């Protein structure tokens, strides 16, 4: 996926074509304002206010506890971005925005917006320092209880779309009965697979601080005993011998160093039954010299800053599988999430 500038008329098209438009200003001046405006709008409840019928600047400002002048400015930007339409002094939330930004929507990403606004934004201030020192934040060792709450809400709210596609397309044994989801948090991937495979039960392994906050999200799935949390640490726990048909590790490899990922793969391989699969579900760092790709590259830098590691290329992930005695089985690229893939190794 790429972001691109779309000209509104032929003159703008020409100006862009002959490089008369100082396009880096889009990144330098416009995008930082856009990002913070969207996050603050979500945080202040602006989307819900409009959806609940507070549709003028004055009404939105009043119900959200804001001032009318900045609210007018904010609404102008959000309308330009496609979140609202504006007619006769009245704002209406667009159908395409409603699906993602209303807290009540089943596909809401508001949890991610709150986390990014309240917890992540100050981390971005440290990017310059990271570039100079190479030292990432390693946030799992620094979050307080409230921040763990925002983090787990964010993970749950960002995963709805992906989990559905994972449930449909993950290449797993049809007769699978046991699954381990390492760093599984809310458990949505396992829940989606359990809905597809009636005999499957799953263990969601995560840090105790995560489970304390993620338990209500798992409970909402109504899977009862079929999907259960287990407190532990993927870096040190023994996963057992030949117990699982499916082991998933989703969005955790990017927090671990290559050596740690190799050691995890080794223990996963021992824990898989013959014919079982190990799925590493990740944003993929485009290989050196490969076609540039926005999502894989921006998450690579973000995870470098915020954890101690970063994204990995397909080649690197396959190396861990191979060294752990797993045969490369499949790679499945998400249709709903550019730059993201399931890399599947199978135990012979």
Which residues on neighbouring strands pair with residue 204, listed in sequence order? Answer: 181, 229
- Cα–Cα distance for residue pair 154/191, rounded to 1 Å: 18
* Angle subtended at Cα 240 by Cα 238 and Cα 242, rounded to the nearest 5 degrees: 150
Q: Tell whether residue 164 is a contact of ligand SAM (CB under 6 A).
A: no
Site for ligand SAM in 115-144 (CB under 6 A): 140
Among 16, 34, 207, 337, binds ligand SAM (CB under 6 A): 207
**Measured distance between the N- and C-terminal CA atoms of the chain, rounded to whole angstroms:** 35
Q: Tell whether residue 267 is a contact of ligand SAM (CB under 6 A).
A: no
Q: Taking the complex as a whole, how short is the minimal distance between the CB of residue 63 and ligand SAM, in angstroms?
A: 33
Provide the 3-class DSSP secondary structure of residue 109.
coil
Site for ligand SAM in 219-238 (CB under 6 A): 233-235
Q: Taking the complex as a whole, how short is the minimal distance between the CB of residue 26 and ligand SAM, in angstroms?
A: 29
Q: Taking the complex as a whole, how short is the minimal distance between the CB of residue 185 and ligand SAM, in angstroms?
A: 4
Which residues on neighbouring strands pair with residue 283, listed in sequence order? Answer: 340
- Cα–Cα distance for residue pair 41/48, rounded to 1 Å: 10
- Cα–Cα distance for residue pair 324/316, rounded to 1 Å: 13
Among 111, 184, 304, 339, binds ligand SAM (CB under 6 A): 184
- Cα–Cα distance for residue pair 123/109, rounded to 1 Å: 20
Q: Taking the complex as a whole, how short is the minimal distance between the CB of residue 178 and ligand SAM, in angstroms?
A: 18
- Cα–Cα distance for residue pair 14/182, rounded to 1 Å: 52
Stretch that binds ligand SAM, among 30-38, 50-58, 249-257, 310-318 (CB under 6 A): 249-257
Site for ligand SAM in 286-345 (CB under 6 A): none
Among 55, 203, 251, 299, binds ligand SAM (CB under 6 A): 251
Among 41, 185, 326, 344, binds ligand SAM (CB under 6 A): 185
User: Which residue carries 């992930």 as its tokens?
Assistant: 317
- Cα–Cα distance for residue pair 110/251, rounded to 1 Å: 19
Q: Tell whether residue 155 is a contact of ligand SAM (CB under 6 A).
A: yes
Among 39, 110, 210, 265, binds ligand SAM (CB under 6 A): 210
Cβ atoms within 10 Å of 56's Cβ, excluding its own: 17
Give contact residues for ligand SAM (rule: CB under 6 A): 140, 155, 159, 183-185, 205-207, 210, 233-235, 250-252, 255
């Amino acid at each position: 996926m790429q972001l691109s500038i779309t000209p509104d008329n032929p003159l703008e098209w020409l100006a862009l074509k002959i490089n008369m438009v100082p396009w880096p200003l889009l990144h330098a001046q416009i995008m930082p304002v856009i990002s913070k405006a969207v996050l603050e709008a979500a945080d202040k409840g602006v989307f819900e206010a409009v959806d609940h019928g507070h549709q003028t600047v004055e009404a939105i400002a009043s119900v959200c506890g804001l001032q009318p002048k900045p609210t007018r400015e904010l609404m102008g930007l959000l309308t330009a971005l496609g979140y609202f339409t504006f007619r006769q002094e009245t704002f209406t939330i667009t159908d395409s925005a409603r699906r993602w930004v209303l807290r009540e929507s089943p596909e809401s990403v508001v949890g991610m917006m709150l986390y990014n606004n309240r917890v992540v934004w100050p981390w971005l201030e440290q990017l310059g320092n990271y570039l100079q020192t190479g030292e990432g934040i390693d946030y799992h060792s620094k979050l307080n209880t409230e921040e763990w709450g925002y983090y787990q809400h964010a993970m749950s709210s960002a995963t709805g779309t992906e989990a559905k596609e994972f449930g449909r397309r993950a290449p797993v044994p049809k007769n699978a009965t046991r699954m381990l989801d390492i760093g599984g948090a809310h458990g949505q991937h396992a829940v989606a697979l359990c809905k597809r495979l009636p005999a499957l039960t799953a263990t969601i392994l995560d840090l105790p601080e995560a489970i304390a906050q993620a338990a209500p999200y798992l409970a909402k799935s109504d899977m009862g005993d079929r999907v259960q949390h287990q407190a532990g640490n993927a870096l040190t726990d023994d996963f057992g011998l030949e117990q699982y048909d499916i082991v998933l590790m989703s969005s955790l490899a990017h927090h671990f160093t290559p050596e740690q990922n190799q050691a995890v793969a080794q223990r996963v391989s021992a824990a898989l039954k013959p014919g079982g699969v190990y799925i590493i579900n990740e944003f993929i760092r485009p290989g050196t010299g490969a076609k540039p790709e926005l999502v894989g590259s921006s998450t690579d830098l973000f995870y470098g800053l915020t954890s101690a590691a970063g994204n990995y290329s397909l080649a690197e992930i396959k190396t861990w599988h191979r060294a752990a005695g797993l045969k490369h089985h499949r790679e499945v690229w998400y249709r709903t999430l550019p730059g993201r893939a399931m890399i599947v190794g199978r135990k012979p």
